Structure formats: structure tokens, C-alpha cells
């Protein structure tokens, strides 16, 4: 087997383990391996497929709440953002993609680590929630990264843990499903997966 297949397999195993523990982060973990072995356009489809599979499996094992008034602004923003990310993906340069991924990881991880020491964000309301969903949607279309920005936003707003989990899990499930449908409808590297 080629080295690329081993890297893809290792990335899938590690990302699946992390998603199994945390309920999210498949995309960030898998892509941190895969971006070195395969082109971003193919890796994006594989990330969305893997993350969506994990979310679907999680439906039966994780009790999901559903608070539509809280979730709706995130979902509306996400659904608007997905086609933008999908449209950008085919023309995205590999080196730029790696730089974006590295920057995201370099900034997002420390902010999440120290987020509880920051004062809660109380401004923006549903418009800011929609903006976080929009960015999450664009990132879902670009590479299956639906969760980092909405997770950060709900953490900074210091939503209750159960509310935050319900928003993020339902947002990820819906946006990843819509992203996969958009990939299939547009033919985004789908044929390379088989």
C-alpha cells in the first residue's frame, strides 16, 4: 500500500477515536493528517463523510435535546454558508488550505483552552449566533469543519453545557448532512471516493 493510504487510515482511526470521546472534532483531527497526503478537495469529502457517519452513530448513543429557538439562528446561517464554502473549495490552493488549517488550529485550541477565564460575551444575540453559524457553514463546505466556530461562540457566550451540547450536535448533524448532499449534487470529488 502507498504511504498516502496509511496516512489516510491513521487519520481516520485517530479522528474516529477523538470524535467517539468528545462527540465532535473529527474534521480537525482527520484533516491534520490528510492534508499532507491527499488534495484538500478529496480530503474535504472524506472528512464530511466521516464526521457525518460519527454524528449519525451518535444519534443512538447521545440523548439530543432540541431547542429550535436557540438552534435556528445557527442553522439558518450555516445553511447559507455551506454553498459558499462548496463554491470556493474547487479553486482552493493546497498551500493556502494548509495555512488556513494550521492557523485555525493555532488560534482555536488556545482560545478554547482558556475560554472559561474570559468574561462571558453578552452582545449580538441571534444575529451573532447566525454569524457564527454562517462561518461554520462556510467552513463545513470548505472541509467539513462545521463545529469549531459555533463551539467557540457558544462557549464564549457561556451557555449551559447541555444547551451548548444540543446546539453543537444538532448543528453539526444538520450542516454535515446538507454539506454532503451539496457535494453529491455538485459532483465534488465524489467519484474519487470509489
As a whole number, mean pLDDT of residues 134-153 equals 93
Q: How many domains does the chain have?
A: 1
As a whole number, mean pLDDT of residues 140-147 equals 91
Locate the DSSP E strands across the chain: none
As a whole number, mean pLDDT of residues 86-102 equals 88
Q: Is the pLDDT of residue 86 over 70?
A: yes
pLDDT at position 112, please? 83
Burial 134-168 (b: 16+ CB within 10 A, else e): bbbbbbbbbbbbbbbbbbbbbbbbebeeeebbbbb
181-191, pLDDT tens digit by residue? 999 998 875 44
CA count, 13 A, side-chain hemisphere, 121: 14
pLDDT at position 194, please? 42
22-33, pLDDT tens digit by residue? 777 888 889 989
pLDDT at position 61, please? 62
Average pLDDT, the chain: 87
Q: Is the pLDDT of residue 60 over 80?
A: no
Q: Answer whether 0.85 is exceeded by the pTM.
A: yes
CA count, 13 A, side-chain hemisphere, 21: 7
95-132, pLDDT tens digit by residue? 888 888 888 888 888 888 888 888 888 888 999 999 99
Q: Is the pLDDT of residue 192 over 60?
A: no
CB neighbour list of residue 162: distance below 8 Å, 6 or more residues apart? 65
As a whole number, mean pLDDT of residues 140-148 equals 91
pLDDT at position 191, please? 44
CB neighbour list of residue 10: distance below 8 Å, 6 or more residues apart? 33
Rounded CA gap, 194 and 111, in Å? 38
Q: Is the pLDDT of residue 193 over 90?
A: no
Domain that holds residue 49: 3-193
Rounded CA gap, 85 and 99, in Å? 16
Amino acid at each position: 500500500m502507498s504511504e498516502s493510504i496509511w496516512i489516510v487510515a491513521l487519520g481516520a482511526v485517530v479522528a474516529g477515536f477523538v470524535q467517539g470521546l468528545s462527540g465532535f472534532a473529527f474534521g480537525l483531527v482527520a484533516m491534520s493528517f490528510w492534508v499532507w497526503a491527499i488534495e484538500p478537495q478529496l480530503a474535504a469529502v472524506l472528512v464530511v463523510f466521516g464526521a457525518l457517519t460519527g454524528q449519525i452513530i451518535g444519534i443512538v448513543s447521545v440523548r439530543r435535546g432540541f431547542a429550535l429557538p436557540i438552534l435556528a439562528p445557527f442553522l439558518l446561517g450555516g445553511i447559507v454558508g455551506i454553498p459558499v464554502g462548496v463554491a470556493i473549495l474547487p479553486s482552493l490552493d493546497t498551500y493556502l488550505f494548509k495555512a488556513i488549517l494550521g492557523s485555525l488550529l493555532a488560534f482555536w485550541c488556545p482560545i478554547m483552552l482558556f475560554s472559561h477565564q474570559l468574561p462571558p460575551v453578552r452582545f449580538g444575540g441571534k444575529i451573532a449566533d447566525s454569524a457564527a453559524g454562517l462561518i461554520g457553514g462556510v467552513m463545513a463546505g470548505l472541509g467539513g469543519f462545521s463545529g469549531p466556530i459555533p463551539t467557540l461562540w457558544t462557549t464564549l457566550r457561556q451557555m449551559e453545557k447541555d444547551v451548548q451540547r444540543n446546539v453543537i450536535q444538532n448543528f453539526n448533524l444538520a450542516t454535515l448532512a446538507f454539506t454532503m448532499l451539496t457535494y453529491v449534487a455538485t459532483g465534488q470529488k465524489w467519484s474519487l471516493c470509489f
